[in-house]
Amino acid sequence: MAGGLMVTLAPAAEGGSAGVRRIPGIHPWPMLICAVGDAHGEFDAMYAAVEALESEVGRRVACVLHVGDFGVWPDPEHLDEATERHGDRGGFRKLLRAGSVPRRTVFIAGNHEDFDYLVDRRSNELIENLEFLPWGEVVTLRHEGETVRVGGIGGCYGTKDYPRERVQGWNRRHYIVSDLRRLVRNAGDGVDILLVHEPPAGEVTECHAPPGMGRRTWRLQGEGQAELVAQVRPRICFSGHIHARTERRIAGVRVVGLHKVPVRGSCLLFEIPPVGEVTDLAEWGGAPSADATPVPEVLSESEMLGEEAFAELSTRLTAWSDAVLAGRALDREGRKRAHSLLREDPMRAVLMGALTGADLRGLVFKGDDARARDQQLREWLAQPLPDPSRFQ
């Protein structure tokens, strides 16, 4: 272990880089790849971690694979508050000005990107060395005579959007069933690596937690992803979204959850041979302990739903509307301005309801689909509210 990194090295040999052994008679090394968790625009920290791992093994990666929430925000006016909260300081705009990234990088969408920008592109190569992998598509990596096929499903799970054949605008933050079908078609004879932003459904416990905290366990509901893993059978699958380093197997496939940059467990450096499973070489912050016994702190996706969740949402909305209105009534012009400012906001209905004094309970509890309501409550509670100063 060096510099806090868990590293596996072979002795140096003649003709090879320091710390790496060539084996006579076969290809020098399998392809070296680094998988990275949610970056949210923290690109300096991300590539610094990749380069630090490279230095530990004495080799340069063929590609960086990113599991979404990369931080694609070319226009500061469109930057969402969640991305600002995670630390974005204009990272993507800096990349655009630079015109390239330090390592070839392939990324899928998360649920916090400028989706109009990604969808409207004529080319998936945004700048030199930076390639976007759209929903359900497959890309082939080629390096020193080797090929590795990578499939991707960007976005998170949304109950209402999932069954749809097409979504656009802000709803593109959700993957849909047609994305999964597209990947199965494009996979053909298979893919070696599968990237998904939302972890497949099921229970998962993080491998390590911050000091003084128990390991958390999630009961995830991302429909279709586990079935996709079982059908496509990649050699490894990487996910992000929940900001936790996790390990499990689905239908025999190793599924690795990555933490967000630059936290421990956000970058995993591995070799992928022509056949067989991948070999981990180094991990940012150190590999998880193989004999660690999880201490569950269950965070079910069904927590805080119904009346308890509505009470929290109502309290937040009331405080927000009081800050926006500052004791004033919302006149016709104010209503038009609010409509315009909230046009693309996924919480537009309840935000306008809070500003106009509408029946919030009626807005939230309409319909008989409790599962869809619970999913909507989860999304609203996770969504930061707009800055009240924008409405002044």
Look up the CATH number of the domain holding residue 191. 3.60.21.10
Asked if 339 and 212 sit in the same domain, the reply is no
In a domain? residue 244: yes
pTM above 0.85, yes or no: no
Rounded Cα gap, residues 303 and 216, in angstroms = 14
E strands, the chain, are 6-7, 31-36, 63-66, 100-107, 125-132, 138-143, 146-153, 193-196, 202-205, 217-220, 236-239, 246-250, 253-257, 267-272, 279-283, 298-300
pLDDT at 369: 58
Residue 325 phi, psi dihedral angles, 5° rounding: -80, -30
**295 located within any domain:** no
| Domain that residue 325 falls in | 302-382
pLDDT at 366: 62
How many residues are present in the chain? Answer: 392
Verify that 123 and 221 share a domain, yes or no. Answer: yes
Residue 255 sits at the vertex; the CA angle it makes with 104 and 114, to the nearest 5 degrees, is 50
Element counts in the chain: helices (H) and strands (E): 11, 16
Is 35 in contact with 270 (CB distance < 8 Å)? yes
* Of the residues 229, 249, 283, the one at which a domain ends: 283
Average pLDDT per run of 10 along the chain, which is 392 residues long? 35 32 50 96 95 95 97 86 73 94 97 92 92 97 93 94 90 94 93 97 84 80 91 96 93 94 94 91 84 44 53 81 83 83 84 80 64 72 82 80
Residues 328 and 272 in one domain: no
d(CA 83, CA 89): 9
Position 271 in a domain:
yes
Bridge partners (DSSP) of residue 253 are: 250
CA dihedral 121, 127, 130, 133 (to 10 degrees): 10
Residue-wise pLDDT for 239-283, tens only, equals 999 999 999 999 999 999 999 999 999 999 999 998 888 999 999
